[in-house]
Structure 1
């Protein structure tokens, strides 16, 4: 069974949310500050009009100025050509997923297919050096035929055959998508089939003639975060106004989404609604009786899948009433749970240690496969359910690597697994979870000379004594004299772990040219499970930044690098981290790459999807929480007379998640104060920052040109 993902957002930015804990009855609630009062005197409010003429004219002018500098550097052309050659390489290994019709499916982009091909092959063909591919849908041809700006956002296909699919198409890369029913046998959109107009919407198949859809049914019928909270059933042939309401959340929620649990043969075994009260806390309702029934689950928990009659749940907070701890993986007998939702008992599947976490969960026909992190290194365990509970065995995969669980086959015990490292190109394995057999079916070609570098893992001590691990990828012969040009990357939020991974572009454009690369596993991420994330929430946010500074200082103390040669990079929540580093500890860095950032934290809940992240950062409308945010808010803490290094700020006009106004206002405010700023706004691309590989190559070449100028020259 394909992994059941209850994420609200499909991307990488990986921003999520939680319902507030009940207030202490002895403590009166604080009076909220009207949102209209927050930042009302900001002279750059006009930049929040995402495609306003004045804002776009400003962005285009800054693009022209900054591109003139970076693209005018003699090294840019070579960096861009190398990046594009890697991204467009014909010998890239295509990742695939099992489909119910027996095929393997893949989405592919290259120089000849800029927007991409959705295509398929057979397993036998995939095993060969040159698989034979059959096109299902050509996005470039579709875009040309419809005179549109389509970006493919995936397809949801109904089991067991998976030949009828809901194809998601985005205008320029936005999160908002148009959804259209597609037939993979005829390779065409279904005449008179399901069509969901553009919107941020959550949907799934119930049966071949019924969808479960949460969307903006009436104008303004969205949460404060800009997502759907009304779930309806839509029958084939019905118009949207004929859909029947099934479940309704609240406007203050983050979102509501439908999902179904299916057995290995595609039969629906449970119909549920996921109510995201906040980004990290949620309620799950069973939708099979006269009215929805809320399941007795912790607010911080997530359903991971279904196998052999068992519903698998990851517990993300202590559950003392049931005897479970934060990070436990548990299971419920689904039949008993449905029969008596408030009496069902759970069984422990796995309890990680303090330095372990459950990273991924996948199911095959009868097996539960769990991807683990052990001190930020990967492992995969196979669990089998029996009369006495769960038994466990291990897949014998390469050690000291990042392990990724890919698509699984409902008809067998097979699943794809990837293995990668900073200096090791990704290998693709076909695992048999029943026989514990492994077959390496593909290996990515090396994109840079890794023989000159080694990988090490160190620990820094943060301000409160907590040990913070980090990886260093450095030249073997580096002298510890503080002169190594070093790029430090981190994220530190939303329970997202930073694990070892191979980047051909980073290796070619940075490592092969003598650079050192560092990844910090700071709190706020998921490297050590939910508790590692919890340690950096809201009032504890400064700990995340102190962890980052501790790693920075440790690199300097070890004389791996020095402030003159140390640069930092981060995107989205990591872009906020960059802004804090810039304003709190500018003396540590000589280069700062700020990608699609959050930056104005006083107004963040009012722009883009910001209201959905109150569970991560706190609510600026509550005075006590705003006081915490104000201490680290990069925008209001930009001051004159500081020794800020020249920064490079990037964003995308089409980013409807983290609004481009954050980046625009950061750049404008810094320039007003007289600081040197380079700025680039991609007109397309969404939150990932690129709608096609050519744009990705351009952005990466710009970044490494900037880093070269700041750290290597």
Structure 2
């Protein structure tokens, strides 16, 4: 590989001034660009489409997903009347009805108005009560702007109030957990030296009730150049213990147990995922793992009794072994069983393992092909429901259903999502294409049943390809209304395509690792091969093909822009990484070196520069029409890479570049349903208008 420039790209960066996120001049530029984009996209048709999407997001008949704590089932809910949301609970009998009787615990809209702060819900952590007592105390996480930085406050669900004089941790990128009824494990910003280069906590301190935060006792710390330190308290009765994690990077960590006041390392390689459940230690290696003459394959799952392992017994039992078509996605323990969520050629399979019977395995239920099904325990500590499970099933054209069952017993459908578009008019297909290096890559196509393969169909190709995240089938009324149901003047529907490229987790860790660092181009070659296959099969042609991606997916489509501009007519690039020279110095970017490489090391910059869209732009290339969108309050990727990319494209005289920045919303791009509807509508409207010649 050769360098694109003999000088330092960072020193040649004429748009560094846009990195001042809240500076007057950058925000003036943002507002000016927003006005141009809104003027081009927002009209009566746009507003009508936006309203249809908001109807989906605000629908009062959508499924209220719940989590069980004690005798109650808890849910967080947003709709048109409660845009910031309600934290609420109900009983099981009530949840089974069409209109549950919800007990409102916290109205975030009322809280925001009363406190004059635009709070965004971040979740709740319960303190396990004493035996025989109800769940009462919880830590509530609230973000002031939808970003990752949150404030944690102690709340009493019986009194419906924040605890007077209770725990209150100021806004920061924190990791907090209960350490007992009167103590917390607090990983937060304690001042200089307490945060890692990745902008996450490097120290964990134990905070006692009534104690000032600055007086909390140091419990655990890691080097500054690691990613994050975390300590949690396992509250399982009979297995109470403190567990610490030294997260080195996204794919490496070290797990410790506190024994007799000291941290004891669970001695496995850093790239082995460690999980504890009661008496069991469960391990999932990301690369082949050799131990005492045995080799445990990457992506497999091993189990051993924790005390045996700590005593020196290294005889592991492999409870799952992957093959070329299957991969383990997640697992969940009921009281007596282990549930495995698998993908087989990106379709779900659920297996039940019985530890008491030599880890015997059987399929839980036959999952329909080309669907995603997730199984997990309802409450493994419940005396009566310890072996109950939730089964959540979804497909591109199958509204989500929630089933509750008992392993070895009966199951019943509990909730079903309504239909938001005419699913019967469409069909789902799975296709496989050979990438540049010969690897077979799958993708899903959702299209009208009367699709004509003459290259005349507006098509939207979506993907991600990073961080071992699998892209699976899912029902979306937003995609249905926002894209599939659109029609051209001659009556053609939009075609939606979801790519399963390398870098993701569709086939386990090897699928992910195939596109790391110097091999990043493989993910982009996979995506380009799918785009070309859509053309070769007659689904579409380049001027009618758009692509979209967010975050790492934004980097993906940024590379489509700079490496494969001839394949696309429109690109929608959301909350993206784009400047790969400075990404490690922006927001949480340093934590992603394990994924992309370190641009500050010359030998790694040699390959990182090849997939840095900001540095691959050229004046003499005809690029597809492009929308780059982001959010000011995104403190994970940050808005500045999107700003700089749009500014550089415009400075090079590249035509048809639009930029939009939501002034709130965090990395998701939206902090409530109204903002989410605007974000989705803007992306779909832009791509549709471009592909159909309206922009």
Whether contact under 8 Å (2:334, 2:377) holds in the other structure is no
TM-score, with normalisation over the residues of structure 2? Answer: 0.94
Deviation at 1:294, TM superposition (A): 1.6
**Corresponding position of 2:192:** 219
- 1:314-372 deviation per Cα after TM superposition (whole angstroms, max 9, x unaligned): 2222102242110111112123334x2x5443221111222111112111222211111
**Corresponding position of 1:132:** 101
**Corresponding position of 1:329:** 301
**Corresponding position of 2:490:** none
Q: Which moved more, 1:283-292 or 1:369-378?
A: 283-292
- 1:230-264 deviation per Cα after TM superposition (whole angstroms, max 9, x unaligned): 1111111211122111111000001111123343x
Q: Structure 2 regions of 5+ residues with no counterpart?
A: 1-6, 487-492
- Higher RCO structure, 1 or 2 (CA under 8 Å, sep 6+): 1
Q: 1:567 to 1:436 in 2, by over 3 A?
A: farther
Question: Which of 675, 685, 692 does residue 705 from structure 1 map onto?
Answer: 685
Matched, 1:90 2:60: yes
**Corresponding position of 1:278:** 249
CA distance in 2, matches of 1:479, 1:712: 17
Whether contact under 8 Å (1:167, 1:179) holds in the other structure is yes
Matched, 1:618 2:587: no
**Corresponding position of 1:145:** 114
Matched, 1:413 2:387: yes
1:25-40 to 2 correspondences below 5 Å:
39-40=10-11
TM-score, with normalisation over the residues of structure 1? Answer: 0.92
- 1:628-682 deviation per Cα after TM superposition (whole angstroms, max 9, x unaligned): 0111210011110211011011100000000100100011011111222111101
Deviation at 1:406, TM superposition (A): 4.8
Whether contact under 8 Å (2:339, 2:376) holds in the other structure is no
Deviation at 1:217, TM superposition (A): 1.6
Whether contact under 8 Å (2:333, 2:376) holds in the other structure is no
Aligned pair count reads 669
**Corresponding position of 2:3:** none
Q: Which moved more, 1:254-263 or 1:652-661?
A: 254-263
CA distance in 1, matches of 2:451, 2:232: 52
1:269-348 to 2 correspondences below 5 Å:
269-307=240-278, 309-321=279-291, 322-338=294-310, 340=311, 342-348=312-318
Over the aligned positions, Cα root-mean-square deviation in angstroms equals: 1.5
Matched, 1:399 2:368: yes
Q: 1:328 to 1:398 in 2, by over 3 A?
A: closer
Q: Secondary structure at 2:192's aligned position in 1?
A: coil
Question: Which of 118, 124, 147 does residue 87 from structure 2 map onto?
Answer: 118
Question: Which of 52, 56, 59 does residue 30 from structure 2 map onto?
Answer: 59
Whether contact under 8 Å (2:333, 2:377) holds in the other structure is no
Q: Which moved more, 1:353-362 or 1:649-658?
A: 353-362
Q: Structure 1 regions of 5+ residues with no counterpart?
A: 1-35
**Corresponding position of 1:32:** none
CA distance in 2, matches of 1:331, 1:269: 20
Question: Which of 545, 555, 565 does residue 586 from structure 1 map onto?
Answer: 565
CA distance in 2, matches of 1:488, 1:187: 46
Q: Secondary structure at 2:339's aligned position in 1?
A: strand
Deviation at 1:267, TM superposition (A): 4.3
1:279-678 to 2 correspondences below 5 Å:
279-307=250-278, 309-321=279-291, 322-338=294-310, 340=311, 342-386=312-356, 389-400=358-369, 401-406=371-376, 408-409=378-379, 410-411=381-382, 412-433=386-407, 435-513=408-486, 514-675=493-654, 676-678=656-658
- 1:285-311 deviation per Cα after TM superposition (whole angstroms, max 9, x unaligned): 12223432221122112234415x212
- 1:452-481 deviation per Cα after TM superposition (whole angstroms, max 9, x unaligned): 110000111011100000000011111110
- 1:605-635 deviation per Cα after TM superposition (whole angstroms, max 9, x unaligned): 0101000000000000111110001112100
Whether contact under 8 Å (1:593, 1:703) holds in the other structure is yes
Deviation at 1:415, TM superposition (A): 2.4
CA distance in 1, matches of 2:691, 2:405: 43
Whether contact under 8 Å (1:260, 1:268) holds in the other structure is no
Q: Secondary structure at 1:46's aligned position in 2?
A: helix
Deviation at 1:117, TM superposition (A): 0.2
